[in-house]
Amino acid sequence: MEFFRIRKDIPFMRHALILNAISLLTFLAAVFFIWHKGLHLSIEFTGGTVMEITYPQTAPLDSIRDQINRLGYTDTQIQNFGSSRDVLIRLPLQKDASGKIISSAEQSGSVMKALETNASGAKLQRVEFVGPQVGKELAMDGIKALLFVVIGIVIYLSFRFEWKFAVAGIIANLHDVVIILGFFAFFGWEFSLSVLAAVLAVLGYSVNESVVIFDRIRENFRKYRKLNTQEIIDNAITSTISRTIITHGSTQMMVLAMLLFGGPTLFYFALALTIGILFGIYSSVFVAAALAMWLGVNREDLIKGERKTADTKPDDPNFGAQV
| Residue 322 in domain | no
Residue 61 and residue 166 in one domain: no
Residue 290 and residue 154 in one domain: yes
pLDDT of residue 308: 44
Torsion of CA 92, 93, 98, 103, to 10 degrees: 120
pLDDT of residue 257: 92
CA–CA separation, 195 vs 224, rounded Å? Answer: 43
- For the stretch 290-300, pLDDT in tens is 888 888 887 77
Q: Domain total for the chain?
A: 2
**Which of 77, 110, 130 is where one domain is finished?**
130
Residue 219 and residue 257 in one domain: yes
Residue 145 and residue 126 in one domain: no
Residue 116 and residue 177 in one domain: no
pLDDT of residue 38: 86
pLDDT of residue 56: 85
Model confidence at 122, pLDDT cuts 50, 70, 90, reads confident
**Which of 93, 109, 130 is where one domain is finished?**
130
Q: In this structure, what CATH number is given to the domain that contains residue 157?
A: 1.20.1640.10
CA–CA separation, 49 vs 59, rounded Å? Answer: 20
DSSP conformation class of 283: I
pLDDT of residue 313: 41
Residue 91 and residue 204 in one domain: no
Residue 184 and residue 169 in one domain: yes
% of the chain surpassing 70 pLDDT: 88
pLDDT of residue 316: 47
Task: Give bridge partners of residue 41 from the DSSP assignment.
Answer: 191
The stretches of the chain forming alpha helices (DSSP H) are 16-36, 43-46, 61-70, 104-115, 132-160, 163-187, 193-223, 229-239, 241-261, 263-282, 289-294, 299-302, 304-310
CA–CA separation, 189 vs 115, rounded Å? Answer: 27
| Residue 285 in domain | yes
Residue 28 and residue 111 in one domain: no
pLDDT of residue 34: 92
Model confidence at 319, pLDDT cuts 50, 70, 90, reads very low
DSSP conformation class of 240: T
| Residue 308 in domain | no
Residue 30 pLDDT > 90, yes or no? yes
Residue 307 CA, distance from chain mean position: 38
CA–CA separation, 14 vs 284, rounded Å? Answer: 16
| Residue 23 in domain | yes
pLDDT of residue 1: 53
| Residue 210 in domain | yes
| Residue 2 in domain | no
pLDDT of residue 119: 60
| Residue 319 in domain | no
Residue 166 pLDDT > 60, yes or no? yes
| Residue 321 in domain | no
CA–CA separation, 129 vs 197, rounded Å? Answer: 23
Q: Which domain holds residue 66?
A: 48-130
Residue 66 and residue 123 in one domain: yes
pLDDT of residue 97: 66
**Which of 78, 98, 130 is where one domain is finished?**
130
> Shortest CA distance to 185 belongs to which of 42, 33, 32?
33
Residue 69 and residue 150 in one domain: no
Model confidence at 271, pLDDT cuts 50, 70, 90, reads very high
Residue 115 and residue 149 in one domain: no
- For the stretch 195-223, pLDDT in tens is 888 888 888 787 888 888 888 888 888 88
pLDDT of residue 321: 42
pTM metric for this prediction: 0.75
Q: In this structure, what CATH number is given to the domain that contains residue 65?
A: 3.30.70.3400
> Which of 3-12, 62-71, 105-114, 178-187 is the least confident region?
3-12
Residue 106 and residue 143 in one domain: no
